[in-house]
Chains A and B, each alone.
Chain A
């Protein structure tokens, strides 16, 4: 029990001794040539920024160009599909079907006869 108390006192003393160093914290100064290094870095960053900006400009322009090309392509495709389809009437459509699938329509007069004209 006594030993514990002693050790608490000791630890407290150690902690206080460490805390005293709060008033002796190390101070550092900028190394010589700080402004020159800073200036060089700023120039470098400015250059990088301008390169980045010009790249962004190119990307922006490319994006606009690509979007316009896409729209123009879509319009052209629409026009092309529209003009490729034959301008046909219904009759021509039936003709095409007949010629394509070999469907023949029997031409029998009186097929729809009502029976009124018995001769």
Chain B
């Protein structure tokens, strides 16, 4: 089926076209939202909002970008709005809470020894926690690139900036992440094992 036909059917509020749109894109949208909010339930809730927003505003879709790109944009906006409102309500979660949450329900442990698995989980939780503190654009670029494995070109399209700007954002983001992780280790007094 032609893309323009599909878009027209969506504009005509055709339910089966909408179902196709959802089922084709649901995983990538849930995963993108998860990259921002780092909670599966919130991510699903946000993804539902993304599709509802898409259904409502499909009339505004001009078709000058791909449908997936448009959905990613909505997902990023919805996720950032959610983060903002969560911050306003003062319900930020501690790193310990995040680790506990992951241990309890989020993701299966890596098939390693218990100690190594735990260490990996803690590192992962730390990484996700410091990602939250990155400046907005660096966070968007890194999330799209690392969670969704999107190329710099695709990220550039979603963010409506140049590829070189995406490269710069991701590099700066990594530098910032390293600084923050270092600061965390130094603050928490993680003693070097080799000494």
A residues with a Cβ closer than 8 A to B are 3, 6-7, 9-12, 14-19, 21-31, 34-35, 37-38, 41-42, 45
Contacts and interface: CB of A to CB of B under 8 A. Distances in A.
A25 B52 CA distance: 27
B78 interface: no
B107 A17 contact: no
A23 B30 contact: no
A3 B182 CA distance: 17
Given A3-B195, A11-B185, A34-B26, A22 B190 contact: no
Band of interface residues on B? 35 or more
A21 B190 contact: no
B26 A35 contact: yes
B55 A19 contact: no
A24 B181 CA distance: 17
A41 B52 contact: yes
A12 to B, nearest CB: 7
Interface string B159-195: 0000000000000001001100110011000111111
A91 B177 CA distance: 99
B154 interface: no
Instruction: Please report whether the interface of chain B is mostly helix, strand, loop or mixed according to DSSP.
Output: helix
Contacts of B142: 22
Interface of B: 19, 22-23, 26-27, 29-31, 34-35, 40, 43-44, 47-48, 51-52, 55, 106-107, 120, 123-124, 126-128, 142, 146-147, 174, 177-178, 181-182, 185-186, 190-195
Contact of A19 (B35, B106, B174, B194): B174
28 contacts: A6-B192, A7-B191, A7-B192, A10-B194, A10-B195, A11-B185, A14-B190, A16-B178, A18-B123, A19-B177, A19-B178, A19-B181, A22-B174, A25-B147, A26-B106, A28-B31, A28-B40, A28-B43, A29-B30, A29-B31, A30-B26, A30-B44, A34-B47, A34-B48, A35-B19, A35-B22, A38-B52, A42-B55
